[in-house]
A and B are shown apart, each in its own frame.
Chain A
Amino acid sequence: MGLLSKKDRALILDPLTDNNPITIQVLGICSALAITAQLKASIVMALSVIFVMGVGNIVISLMRNMIPSKIRIIVQLVVVATLVIIVDQVLKAYAYELSKQLSVFIGLIITNCIIMGRFEAFALGNGVWRSFLDGIGNALGYGVILIIVGFFRELLGSGTLLGIQVLGDPIAKTGLYSIGYENNGFMLLSPMALIVVGIIIWVQRTRSPHLVEEN
């Protein structure tokens, strides 16, 4: 990271820790609940959001002096929607299999409040390079949480990781299942995603007490 100044580095690293969009700002929860039942879906969603946030922040930042403030939210929405449609169409044409797996998530990217939040809070007031870093940083922060949640939900809920049975075969009763272990189907339902996110927030605040708000 020698290329980046200290300030720029903070743009990337802060969202990963003390300013995480999910665990600190509590944004982007809806998509985090919806798609984390499997690790693979989480990873794919994380990558898509990194792309859309990076490019979107650049576009908004380039236009920041031209966007009329009265309709800026609409402009932001148009930018996200356009990017998402472009991604969707290009995938359909050149990576059809992948686009089928992503079908639901592509649409969900538009509704991701982190994206609109970063456009509004950062890209509208900062230069292109810094906006790009901020976009990547926040998308990474979002992605990391998504992947952690996806990991635990798939492991405990289905006994698999990326579709591979890591705990043995639940039907033939091999591995852990031979000593009476059972998958917790509850982990696959959305409420458990909220609880896992809650546990992550708890752990994070216990380790960094300065994050805890005074009452």
Chain B
Amino acid sequence: MAKKTDNNLYTLFFAIVMVIVVGSLLAFLASTLKPRIVENQRFEKQQNILYAMGIHNNEGDNDVQFIATDKVGEVFDSYISNQYYIQGGEMIEDDEAYLIDLAREEALTRNPEYKKRLPLFIGEKDGEKFYIVPVLGKGLWDAIWGFVAIGEDLVVKGVYFDHKAETPGLGANIKERFFMDKFSGEHIFDDEGDFAGITVAKGNNDPANNRKQDNKVDAIAGSTITGDGVTAMLRNYLRTYLPYIQSINQ
């Protein structure tokens, strides 16, 4: 005997009702939670920018602790003195430049008319000035990004890296302290004074990164492609930003 649920009309009816119920449930959930999610993302950006310039709550040797979310807005305002974005060769001051989504800006450049906005932050800590630039690139599986803080001497003072989907235990380690810390103090110009970026190098024989002038940091074993992605994104963005940093720096 055919069951009621085998009926075609019933099947169609069930499918329609299911789609409406699930669709409205998810739409309702998404719109209710959206303000909180957006706020979380805003805090995260502020935390990451501050982390790159060395403002964090790190305690042990291995943990990455950001400024707490309930304080980060205040801390951010007190350390970041100016925010700009660069568009078509001009620097425009904008207090919400940190909200600019670099990935979205890069995607928009597919339209040749569009001039992308590149955010640049100026921070001050203990009388020392930092230029903080965002970087974005490709790892093995998906996007990798971060922030690089550069001092007035044009030496890297600190970095923060993050990734969407790098391999746990391998490429995902770019966001670990042991990797990020190695970038502090690294030079981005070679001995002749030409721009060289920073290369994540295999066989560097310098695991503790004592040679700060060689433009190289030691790679993570087993994550060559992620490391190459870090090298490429640093080189791309630092090269783009350097002329602007140098012009403000004078």
Question: Which residues of A does B touch, CB under 8 Å?
Answer: 35, 37-38, 41, 65-71, 74-75, 78, 82, 85-86, 89-90, 92-94, 96, 100, 103-104, 153-154, 157-158, 163, 171, 185, 188-189
In whole angstroms, how far apart are the Cα atoms of A158 and B220 in the complex?
A: 12
Are A96 and B40 neighbours in the complex by a CB distance under 8 Å?
A: yes
**Minimum Cβ distance to chain B for residue A56 (Å):** 13
Q: Knowing A82-B26, A86-B29, say if A103 contacts B165 (CB, 8 Å).
A: yes
**Minimum Cβ distance to chain B for residue A64 (Å):** 10
Contact of A35 among B36, B37, B41, B168 (CB under 8 A): B168
Are A94 and B165 neighbours in the complex by a CB distance under 8 Å?
A: no
B250 at the interface (CB under 8 A from A): no
Contact of A71 among B15, B25, B41, B62 (CB under 8 A): B15
Contact of A92 among B6, B22, B40, B62 (CB under 8 A): B40
Are A71 and B169 neighbours in the complex by a CB distance under 8 Å?
A: no
Are B33 and A37 neighbours in the complex by a CB distance under 8 Å?
A: no
What are 12 inter-chain pairs, A to B, with CB distance below 8 A? A37-B168, A38-B168, A65-B5, A66-B5, A68-B14, A71-B11, A78-B18, A92-B37, A100-B44, A104-B164, A104-B165, A188-B169
Q: Knowing A94-B36, A103-B164, say if A89 contacts B30 (CB, 8 Å).
A: yes
Contact of A82 among B6, B11, B22, B33 (CB under 8 A): B22
Main secondary structure of the interface of B (DSSP, over half): helix
Question: Which residues of B does A touch, CB under 8 Å?
Answer: 3, 5-7, 10-11, 14-15, 18, 22, 25-26, 29-30, 33, 36-37, 40-41, 43-44, 62, 164-165, 167-170, 207-208, 221-222
Are B10 and A68 neighbours in the complex by a CB distance under 8 Å?
A: yes
The chain B residue with its CB closest to the CB of A68 is B11
Contact of B62 among A67, A157, A163 (CB under 8 A): A163
Are A37 and B169 neighbours in the complex by a CB distance under 8 Å?
A: yes
Are B222 and A188 neighbours in the complex by a CB distance under 8 Å?
A: yes
Contact of B6 among A37, A68, A74, A103 (CB under 8 A): A68
Q: Which of A65, A70, A86 has the most CB of B within 10 A?
A: A70
The chain A residue with its CB closest to the CB of B30 is A89
Are A93 and B33 neighbours in the complex by a CB distance under 8 Å?
A: yes
The chain A residue with its CB closest to the CB of B14 is A68
Are B14 and A71 neighbours in the complex by a CB distance under 8 Å?
A: yes
**Minimum Cβ distance to chain B for residue A187 (Å):** 9
Contacts of B40 in A (CB 8 A): 92-93, 96
